Amino acid sequence: MRLGSIEVIEPYPAIYIKELEAIVICDLHLGYEGIMAEQGIFMPKVQFEREMEILSKIVDYKSASNFIIVGDVKHEFSETTYHEFREVKDLFEYLKNNFERIVLVKGNHDNYIIYTTRRYGVELYDEFLFKDFLFLHGDKPLKETKGRYIIMGHEHPAIALYDEIGAKEKLKCFLYGEVEARKFLVMPAFSYLALGSEVNTIPREELLSPILKELEIDDFRVIAISEEAGIMDFGRLGDIRPEKLF
């Protein structure tokens, strides 16, 4: 599915921008299970293996020279732990073997990652302007005035769907809209374990991103993704709020 100059790589939380020869993902949150284990919460270590499996499918499907991560490649806020370092190292090594250029836009979880990016030649930016595309994580207010397209993460958007008896299903989604001639794309988390913010059930003032709190996102288009069902266009966000459906 195409959203202007952007192609959603169906059915994954990733996009391809032909003009930039770039694949883009965000919010991997590597090392999550290890951090939870340190806090006494034990879960199977499946996320990294699953993310690399999906990434491999994307790379096989779509050829590109550049790879851009729009923030939160790691999970822990403080110094990188052993669990994170090992997974981030393996990720960067894989990307170096498949792409000419790797860019990481720093997210709010990416503290201390500069030591690892330097080691593997990964470019690190707070915001990254590439031709007409501005990449930023989304955890800070929008300051940059350049760029026709704004590509961001941080929110982990998802939608909650209910049936007649109240059973709920949750789907990751892209949010796509235009504000004052600038096109915004909010990307779902690449993380296997990040469930996401139910953007059709929570009020705008409770969203995570300060950027989205300032936008009328009810007019944004919702593109949901599911490996089982593929890609689904739900139209306007405001039209799939529970009060509009029942």
State the pLDDT at residue 108. Answer: 86
User: pLDDT digits over 124-176, tens only?
Assistant: 999 999 999 999 999 999 986 789 999 999 999 999 987 766 678 899 999 99
Higher pLDDT, 115 or 217: 217
Percent of the chain whose pLDDT exceeds 70: 87
Which has more confidence, 44 or 111?
A: 111
Domain residue ranges of the chain, discontinuous segments joined by +:
2-245
pLDDT value at position 37? Answer: 47
Rounded CA-CA distance 23/20 in Å is: 9
Per residue in 7-30, pLDDT tens? 999 999 999 999 999 999 999 988
**Cα separations in angstroms, 171 against 56, 103, 137:** 22, 28, 21
User: Average pLDDT, stretch 213-227?
Assistant: 96
Q: Find residue 104's DSSP bridge partners.
A: 69, 124
- pLDDT band with cut points at 50, 70 and 90 for residue 78: low
Structural element, H or E, at residue 88: helix 82-96
pTM: 0.92
Find which of 45-54, 55-64, 80-89, 103-112 is predicted with most confidence, using mean pLDDT.
Answer: 55-64
Which of the listed CATH numbers 1.10.20, 3.60.21, 2.40.50, 1.20.81 matches domain 2-245?
3.60.21
Query: So what's the pLDDT on residue 195?
Result: 75
The 3 state secondary structure assigned to 37-64 is HHCCCCCCCCHHHHHHHHHHHHHHHCCC
